[in-house]
A = this chain, B = another copy of it.
Amino acid sequence: MARACTIGIDYGTNSVRAVVVDCADGRVLGTHVSNYPSGDQGILLDPKQPHLARQNPADYLDGLRDSVRGALAEAARDTAFSAESVIGIGVDTTGSTPLPIDAAAQPLALDPRFARNLAAHAWLWKDHTSALEAAAITETARTHNPELLAPIGGTYSSEWWWSKIWHCLNVAPEVFDAAASWVELADFIPAVLAGVKHPNEIVRCVCAAGHKAMYSETWGGLPPKSFLTRLDPRLAALRDRLYDSALPPGSPAGYLAAGWATALGLRPGIPIAMGGFDAHYGAVGSGVTAGTLVKIIGTSTCDCAVAPSTERIADIPGICGIVDGSIMPGFFGIEAGQSAVGDLLKWWVEVVCGGDEARHERLSTEAASLAPGQSGLIALDWNNGNRTVLVDTRLTGLLLGQTLHTTRAEIYRALIEATAYGARAIIQRLREYGVPIDRVVCCGGIAEKNDLFMQVYADVLGQPMLIAGSPQTPALGSALAAAVTAGARAGGYDDWTEAQSRMTTIKQKRFEPRPAASAVYDALYAIYRELHDAFGGVPEAKGELASVMKRLLAIKERALGVTA
Question: Which residues of A come within 8 Å of B, CB atoms?
Answer: 131-132, 340, 343-344, 346-347, 351-354, 376, 382-384, 394-408, 411, 534-538, 541, 545-550, 552-553, 564
CB contact between A394 and one of B354, B405, B553 (< 8 Å): that residue:
B553
Roughly how many angstroms separate A402 CA and B414 CA in the complex, as a whole number? 15
- A353, A383, A402, A553: which has the most chain B beta carbons within 10 Å? A402
Q: Is the CB of A406 within 8 A of B383?
A: yes
The answer to whether A383 and B402 touch across the interface, beta carbons within 8 angstroms, is yes
Residues of B within 8 A of A395 (CB): 549
Residues of B close to A398: CB separation below 8 A: 398-402
A131 near B407 (CB under 8 angstroms)?
no
Q: How far is the CB of A530 from chain B (nearest CB, A)?
A: 10
How far, in Å, is A68 (CB) from chain B's closest CB? 35
The number of times this chain is found in the oligomer is 2
Give the nearest-CB partner of A384 in chain B.
Answer: B404
**Docked-complex contact A340 and B550, CB < 8 angstroms:** no
Q: Are A401 and B394 in contact (CB under 8 A)?
A: no
* B541 engages A546 (CB within 8 Å): yes
Q: For A401, list chain B residues within 8 Å (CB).
A: 396-398
Q: Is the CB of B535 within 8 A of A548?
A: yes
Knowing A352-B352, A399-B399 are in contact, say whether A404-B383 is a contact too (CB < 8 A): yes
B546-A534 in contact (CB<8A): yes
Closest to A50 in B: B562
Q: Which residues of B lie under 8 Å from residue A536 when comparing CB positions?
A: 546
Minimum-distance CB pairs A-B, first 7: A537-B546, A397-B402, A534-B545, A399-B399, A396-B549, A398-B400, A347-B404
B411 A352 Cβ-Cβ under 8 A? yes
- Does A352 contact B408, Cβ atoms closer than 8 Å? yes
Give which listed residue, B394, B400, B553, contacts A550 with CB less than 8 A: B394
- Tell me whether A552 and B396 are in contact (CB under 8 A): yes
Judging by beta carbons under 8 Å apart, are B406 and A347 in contact? Answer: yes
Of the candidates B131, B343, B549, B550, the one whose C-beta lies within 8 Å of that of A404 is B343
Asked if A547 contacts B552 (CB within 8 A), the reply is no
A30, chain B: closest CB distance, angstroms:
36
Starting from the known contacts A397-B403, A400-B535, 10 additional A-B residue pairs (CB-CB under 8 Å) come to A352-B411, A353-B354, A382-B549, A394-B553, A396-B552, A397-B400, A398-B398, A398-B401, A538-B546, A545-B545
Contact residues in B for A399 (Cβ distance below 8 Å)? 397-400, 402
Tell me the bound Cα distance from A548 to B380 in angstroms.
Answer: 14
> A204 CA to B376 CA in the complex, in Å?
42
B547 and A537 contact, CB distance less than 8 A: yes
Residue of B nearest to A343 (CB): B404
A340 touches which one: B132, B397, B404 (CB < 8 A)?
B404
Whether B396 and A376, one on each chain, are in contact in the complex, defined by CB atoms closer than 8 angstroms, is yes
| Residue in B closest to A377 when the chains form the complex, CB atoms | B396
Q: What are the residues of chain B within 8 A of A346 when measuring CB–CB?
A: 404
Nearest-neighbour CB distance to chain B for A559, whole angstroms, equals: 15
Cross-interface CB contact of A383 among B403, B546, B564, cutoff 8 Å: B403
Q: Establish whether residues A406 and B546, one from each chain, have CB atoms under 8 Å apart when the complex forms.
A: no
Interface centre among A340, A400, A538 (most CB of B within 10 A): A400
A353–B354 alpha-carbon span in the complex (Å)? 8
24 A-B pairs within 8 Å (CB atoms) are namely A132-B564, A347-B405, A347-B406, A351-B405, A351-B408, A352-B352, A352-B411, A354-B408, A384-B403, A384-B404, A394-B549, A394-B550, A396-B401, A396-B403, A396-B549, A397-B401, A397-B402, A397-B403, A399-B399, A399-B400, A399-B402, A534-B545, A535-B549, A541-B546
Chain B positions within 8 Å of A340 at CB level: 404
Residues of B within 8 A of A343 (CB): 404
CA of A353 to CA of B553, assembled, Å: 24
Q: How far is the CB of A483 from chain B (nearest CB, A)?
A: 39
Chain B residues whose CB sits within 8 angstroms of the CB of A411 once the complex forms: 352
Residue of B nearest to A405 (CB): B351
**CB–CB A353/B351 < 8 A:** no
CA–CA, A3 and B535, complex, Å: 66
Q: Please, how many angstroms separate the alpha-carbon atoms of A400 and B398 in the complex?
A: 4
How many angstroms between the C-alpha atoms of A399 and B407 in the bound complex?
Answer: 15
A397 to B396, CA, bound (A): 17
Whether the pair B352, A564 counts as a contact (CB closer than 8 A) is no
User: How far does the Cβ of A379 sit from chain B's closest Cβ, in whole Å?
Assistant: 9
Q: How far is the CA of A416 from the CA of B49 in the complex (A)?
A: 32
**Which residues from chain B contact A384 at a C-beta distance below 8 Å?**
403-404
Q: Do A404 and B353 have beta carbons less than 8 Å apart?
A: no
| A55 to B: closest C-beta gap in Å | 21
Docked Cα-Cα span, A535 to B552, in Å, equals 12
Closest to A538 in B: B546
- Residue of B353, B383, B400 near A396 (CB, 8 A) is B400
B contact residues around A408 at 8 Å (CB): 351-352, 354
Q: In the complex, A396 Cα to B402 Cα: how many Å?
A: 6
By a CB distance below 8 angstroms, the chain B residues around A397 are 399-403, 406
Q: Flag if B546 contacts A351 (CB, 8 Å).
A: no
B residues in contact with A352, CB < 8 Å? 352-353, 406-408, 411
* Smallest beta-carbon distance A243→chain B, Å: 32
Chain B residue at minimum C-beta to C-beta distance from A339: B404
Q: Which residues of B contact A550 (CB under 8 A)?
A: 394
Shortest CB distance A324–B (Å): 34
Chain B: CB-nearest residue to A539: B546
